[in-house]
Structure 1
Amino acid sequence: MTLLTVACLVAYAAFVEWQWGWGRLLAQWQKVGLWTTMGALVLLTATYFVRTQRIYDYFPKQTAGHFLKLFRLTQVHNLLNIMLPFRAGETSFPLLMRSQFSVPIPRATAALLVMRLLDLHALCAAAGIGLVIGASGRPLAWLLWALFLVSPLAFFAAKGPIFRRLKGSLSGKLERLMEEVEAGIPADGGRFARAWFFTVVNWGVKVLVLAWVLGLLGVAPLAATFGGALGGELSSVLPVHAPGGVGTYPAGITAGALAFGADKARAAVSAMAEAAINAHLMIVASACVGTALSVMLSWFSNEPR
């Protein structure tokens, strides 16, 4: 796995140098500006604290008083998710939760599945802002978007009858999957609402920052910047995910921007690819900053390790 990751990174770096040149790509950040770049990194890093709070609230008995320890765990999990191919990094979460907080693997796995479904919903809702802004019937579009945004809360209110009907009509693996999803949903409505809220805040900030940066790097129109943010993040949750997201993440940004109305001319696509690579570099940099911050905070923490 390590050799595959290193080989992919080296091949990707060589391809980018041959196609565009790293000097040309990195020079784009001069247009963005140092303080703007730092502000974007700070906002992206802040989302990792929101993710940690969601898990902290999801497992209150096991994690009480150990926020920084949990923050370090979430950063390790996030970095492994980015660097390992084929979503192999996801397996680290239940293992880490068991070793660090004595959470049973089935319980942690079920909770992770539910959180990933909430992530997908919130990601689509955040990216949908770009579609709503560009829609002709804007009031109706905002209403439909708001209904979609709060749909998980409505689902939770009706989850009992929904799961009974689904499990009665499914069999085999699908029924077991439904049982895992149900086991991963908090029984308390307030805790589920907080999990939904933290998820929306996390992905809302991340998509807005990515769209903002893509716009500064030359991606247009506004809807295309949101589409690019959506495409990049969706590529990272697909089963076929390259180590470090090299190639797949920038390709997802480019595809998403094109789907949301970006210019399809060859020169425009090439410029968009450059912006996508730089946006991907910022995502990787924020993950590295978050991991380094979690290690430094653990040095000054009184929490047991």
Structure 2
Amino acid sequence: MTDGVPRNWLAKNRMVLLAVAVIVFYAVFVQWIWGWPSILAGWREVGFGTILAALTLLVATYFVRAHRMHDYFPRETAGRFLRLFRVTQVHNILNIMLPFRAGETSFPLLMRSEFGVPLAHGTSALLVLRLLDLHALLAAAGAGLIMETGYALWACGLWILFLGSPLLVFPFHDPVLRAARRKLPAKFSKLVDQIADGIPQDLATFVRAWALTVLNWGVKVLVLAWVLALMGVGPLAACFGGALGGELSSVLPVHAPGGVGTYPAGIVAGAAAFGAGENADGLAVLAKASINTHLLMIVSALAGTGISLVLPGLTDAGSGRIRGDE
């Protein structure tokens, strides 16, 4: 016992306790520096209609992600899209709330328990999809770099080449992976094998996964850049840089519970790299906008999770069946 609390209870719930402690500290810190009324005043200036439109677009990207998984595992998830949507949302909320990317481990476990996908294959597919996510995120945020060059022809050409590079590489993935096995140290062979197992066997499936990934991140980055611009962040290139910085912070290993602190810091760093916050007033505007944008992301994730829990029940009630997704 420790002050009346069993040690095994503390050990079992240490991640939750850490998350709660970090969130409370962050809330107190924001109140002390700016005050929450000052932060939330930004939403009144933006307007309810704009907030609702941004939330709707962000939630729509969750359906795109679920469809990508549905297409990636067509045999296992056939006729069970709503259940898959629920799995992807649970995975998403765990990713957001658990620190150090601990939530990633939930996806292969959920896919095995819900759809019978082997653990190794679920992990391999997630690894490949995360690589596509990173590529699409960089491509979407690359719009900021193009703006910085004044839409120079060479910059647009390089961006198009980068955007389509996965499609150019796919036909050569077998010899590339074989070469990687030969050249890389033995400790990386398992990683190469995982990538090989997670890559679709045919070009059509890979193209669809790539296109859905680009659509997902394209919409998300555009929405986040739009919100930052509405909250006074400028120039426009800095808004795209801020969107990139925030999202990159969420995929790096060092990720605070709920992204508190790390996500807004990523936005500030990304936007500052493109010229935002060059004076005290601009930095204050950027800091408040980054916190509000992070709150928007949290609310959209909670809304998506709520929809994933409610939607199957509504479908069941309408159809009279026990499960509406089977």
Same fold (TM over 0.5): yes
Q: Unaligned 5+ residue runs, structure 1?
A: none
Aligned-pair distance for 1:267? 2.5
Aligned-pair distance for 1:137? 5.9
- The answer to whether the aligner puts 1:196 opposite 2:210 as a matched pair is yes
Aligned-pair distance for 1:43? 0.1
Q: How many residues align?
A: 305
Counterpart in 2 of 1:256? 270
Aligned-pair distance for 1:304? 5.5
Counterpart in 2 of 1:119? 133
Counterpart in 1 of 2:243? 229
Helix, strand or coil at the partner of 1:87: helix
Distance 1:204 1:117 in 2: 16
Counterpart in 2 of 1:143? 157
Counterpart in 1 of 2:82? 68
Counterpart in 2 of 1:13? 27
- State the TM-score, normalizing by the size of structure 1: 0.98
Judge conservation of contact 1:65–1:303 (CA < 8 Å) in 2.
Answer: no
Aligned-pair distance for 1:252? 0.2
Helix, strand or coil at the partner of 2:99: coil
Distance 1:151 1:7 in 2: 43
Judge conservation of contact 2:250–2:259 (CA < 8 Å) in 1.
Answer: yes
Stretch of structure 1 that moved more, 166-175 or 221-230? 166-175
Counterpart in 1 of 2:175? 161
Counterpart in 2 of 1:212? 226
Judge conservation of contact 2:277–2:285 (CA < 8 Å) in 1.
Answer: no
Distance 1:147 1:304 in 2: 40
What are the equivalent positions in structure 2 for 1:1-305 lying under 5 Å apart? 1-136=15-150, 138-301=152-315, 302-303=323-324
- Report Cα offsets for 1:56-106 as digits up to 9, x if no partner: 000000000000000000000000000000000000000000000000110
- Report Cα offsets for 1:169-209 as digits up to 9, x if no partner: 12322121111101100001100000000000000000000
Stretch of structure 1 that moved more, 127-136 or 77-86? 127-136
After the TM superposition, list the runs of 4 or more consecutive aligned residues in structure 1 that deviate by more than 2 angstroms.
Answer: 300-305
Distance 1:112 1:246 in 2: 25
Judge conservation of contact 2:233–2:286 (CA < 8 Å) in 1.
Answer: yes
Aligned-pair distance for 1:165? 1.0
Q: Which amino acid aligns with 2:153?
A: P
- Report Cα offsets for 1:131-173 as digits up to 9, x if no partner: 1122146111111100000000111111121111111112322
- State the TM-score, normalizing by the size of structure 2: 0.92
Aligned-CA RMSD value: 1.0
Percent of residue pairs bearing the same amino acid type:
60
Greater RCO (CA < 8 Å, at least 6 residues apart): 1
Judge conservation of contact 2:87–2:110 (CA < 8 Å) in 1.
Answer: yes
Aligned-pair distance for 1:265? 1.6
Q: Which amino acid aligns with 1:271?
A: V
Aligned-pair distance for 1:266? 2.4
Judge conservation of contact 1:75–1:291 (CA < 8 Å) in 2.
Answer: yes
Distance 1:256 1:159 in 2: 32
Q: Which amino acid aligns with 2:301?
A: A
Helix, strand or coil at the partner of 1:263: coil
